[in-house]
Amino acid sequence: MAAALIAIFFFGGIMGLGLSTFLSPYLFSPPSQEEIQKHMLSFLTYRPELTPEQQEQVKPIADDFAQQVQNFHEQSINQFSQLAAMKEERISKFLTPEQKEELVKLAEEREELFAKHGPPPSM
C-alpha cells in the first residue's frame, strides 16, 4: 500500500513538472494583442451574432482595445518594477552586505521572470 502511494506521488510530481513546463507560456504570459483582438471578435460574432459587415466595422475597435490592454499591462509591469526597486532600496538600509547581495539577486531573478513572462513584444 505504501509503495503504491509513493508511486502515485512520484508520477504525479513528474506529470505536474511536465505539464507546467509545456503550459507555462500559456499560463503565465499575458495574451498578445492579436489574441485579445481575435478572442473579442470571436465572442462578438457568436453572442450578439454580428454580421460579416458588422465584424469589419467592429474590428478597428477591437484592435484599439487590444492595444490599450497591452499598453496598460506594460505600464503595470514598469510601475511594479519601480515600486519593487524603491522597496528594496528602503529595506537594504537594514541589511548586512551579504543580505544586500542576496536582495540584489532576488531583484535580478524578478526582472528575468518579467522578461520571460512579461508583456509580448508590441505589434
CB 58 within 8 A of CB 50: yes
Distance, CA of 81 to CA of 86 (rounded, Å): 9
Nearest to 76 by CA among 23, 30, 123, 26: 30
More confidently predicted of 112 and 117: 112
Q: Mean pLDDT for the chain?
A: 79
CB 40 within 8 A of CB 62: yes
Residue 94 DSSP label = T
The domain limits of the chain are 1-30, 31-117
pLDDT tens, residue by residue, 12-67: 666 665 555 555 554 556 778 888 888 888 888 888 888 999 989 999 999 999 89
Burial of residue 5 (number of CB atoms within 10 Å: 0-12, 13-18, 19+):
exposed
For residues 104-120, give the mean pLDDT. Answer: 77
- How much is the pTM? 0.56
* Per-residue pLDDT, 122: 45
CB atoms within 10 A of CB 41: 19
Distance, CA of 57 to CA of 20 (rounded, Å): 39
CB atoms within 10 A of CB 37: 22
